[in-house]
Structure 1
Amino acid sequence: MDHLVDQACSYSNVEHTKKDLQNRFDSIRRDELQTSDANYVISYLTVKAVMDPEFFFDYTLDEDDRFGSLFWADSTSRSDYGYFGDVLAFIATYKTNVYQRPLVMLIGVNHHNSTAIFGFGLLGDETIETYTWLLRTFLVSMHGKMPQSVVTDGDRAMHKAIKIVMPESVRRLCCWHLERSVQTNIQDGNFTRAFCSCMLNFMTAEEFDLRWINMVDNFGLNNNEWVYGMYSKRKQWAETFLRDNFFGGM
């Protein structure tokens, strides 16, 4: 940067800052890293598949033949899914890794009430098409066994992909994500507690509607779009409407 400034006689004549220069170098290095690391990962997983005949992986390439999305599951994961795959849940870390890609863990719970990991997906993006590819590839690795129920967050692309690939599975919105969503959208601790009571306690449909109406009236949220939207989705999160389905305690 100092050399460029000396040549141009001033910082203003260079037309970019030192930070711009660093960002450009980082971008070039990241592109090179992704290409070399992708080749390394595919080689590594290929060797794993030779050592473990039940190891499964698949990946996609984009229109420029660059690395797209990756799914993998080892023999333990595939065996666990055969026993405990009645309930499937997703945990996604959104672009917290060096590659700025979503990492999705497909998990369940075993007979000791411990987490069972069924597979991993490192995705190129968060579109319906990519999530659909992930779920279809997952089912191929698990010999087509469909889960009875699926627990997921409110991601619309994932939700639509589940509806396409696993139409018979009961879909349930994650209680933890919903509680955080209530806090974000309404920002009232008393309403959050009242909402969670509606969500987690079993009651008849008539009792649920009555409690919901009273809650919304008490907090003056009759015209709130988020509240209205959540009521329209009540059969995906309220224990009243989901009690007869198996979720393995998740």
Structure 2
Amino acid sequence: MAKLSIYLDRENSAWKVCKVILDHNHELTPRGMMHMIPKFHRISDAAKANIDGMRGYGVSTSKILGYMAGVAGWYSLLGFTKNDAYNYIDHMRWAKVVNGDSNAAIVYLEGKAAADPMSMARYNVTKDGMLANMFWADGPCRVDYQYFRDVVAFDSTYKKNKYQRPLVIFSGSNNHKQTTIFGFGLVLDETMYSYTWMLENLSEVMCNKHPSVVVTDGDDAMIATVKKVFPEATQRLCAWHLQKNIISNGGE
């Protein structure tokens, strides 16, 4: 029913309105749902301040959104979508990362995400704006995790890169007894803080599905982190590392 009719008044060389009907044959979008329309996506300054403040204390994105949704009444009443929040956080991370290899790595992973919508990457930065920890997983990794996450190997013993950063590999075995990779990560150091960040982001990217068994190399910080993030998971030592330690430390 809504209509706007105009015509060209050639004598005066001007466009004029001849008919206006403001009635609609459907209800308009409620004001509280306008943020769901792409054109009106916007995070308020107050919401940005809340997000920045809680992230400064190490609160994960999912917990931040859960808290803000609880205060607002539900996710639909936040005034923005979850994707808006993740995009804002990624933008703030990007602004803090200095140019160089770290920036190139992030650009590469964002390019992979453009080609594979299920591909996801997470990273944080140090106080100096340098890249600290990074986690990434593509679509096949995330799908395999949903099916074969019962036993996850958590290994960070690889340092064969010029930065000497520990490379974390999350792996498992599929139903053909073939090794399958669930995700990768680079950690700043082998501390409980870095490992906690890594496991929490693994959990978030994998839809908060936790493994039943986690296999580690016996590192104290790693064991404590698994117990904290995956409290219900059983921990086991890697047989390869166990054999290596016996050979290295055993007497002749």
What TM-score comes out, normalization by structure 2 length? Answer: 0.59
CA distance in 1, matches of 2:158, 2:109: 23
Higher-RCO chain (CA-CA 8 Å, sequence separation at least 6): 1
Deviation track 1:99-124 (CA, whole Å, cap 9, x = no partner) reads 11000110000011000100001111
- Native 8 Å contact 1:35 1:66 kept in 2: no
Please report how far the alpha carbon of residue 180 of structure 1 lies from its aligned counterpart in structure 2 after TM superposition.
1.8
1:175 counterpart residue number? 239
Of 179-188 and 121-130, the range deviating more from structure 2: 179-188
- Bigger proportion of residues as strand: 2
Deviation track 1:156-211 (CA, whole Å, cap 9, x = no partner) reads 111111011001000001122112222333324xxxxxxxxxxxxxxxxxxxxxxx
Does 1:71 pair with 2:135? Answer: yes
CA distance in 2, matches of 1:129, 1:180: 27
2:193 counterpart residue number? 129
Secondary structure of residue in 1 paired with 2:100 = helix
1:106 to 154, 170, 173: 170
- Native 8 Å contact 1:77 1:117 kept in 2: yes
Q: How does 1:1-250 map to 2 (within 5 A)?
A: 35-188=99-252
CA distance in 2, matches of 1:51, 1:95: 29
Please report how far the alpha carbon of residue 48 of structure 1 lies from its aligned counterpart in structure 2 after TM superposition.
1.5
RMSD value, Cα: 1.4
CA distance in 1, matches of 2:126, 2:172: 31
Secondary structure of residue in 1 paired with 2:188 = coil
1:22 counterpart residue number? none
Secondary structure of residue in 2 paired with 1:159 = helix
Spell out structure 1 runs of 4+ moving beyond 6 A. none
Give 5+ residue unaligned stretches, structure 1. 1-33, 189-250
* Rg comparison, structure with higher value: 2
Deviation track 1:216-237 (CA, whole Å, cap 9, x = no partner) reads xxxxxxxxxxxxxxxxxxxxxx
Number of residue pairs matched? Answer: 155
Percent identity between the aligned chains? Answer: 47
Give 5+ residue unaligned stretches, structure 2. 1-97
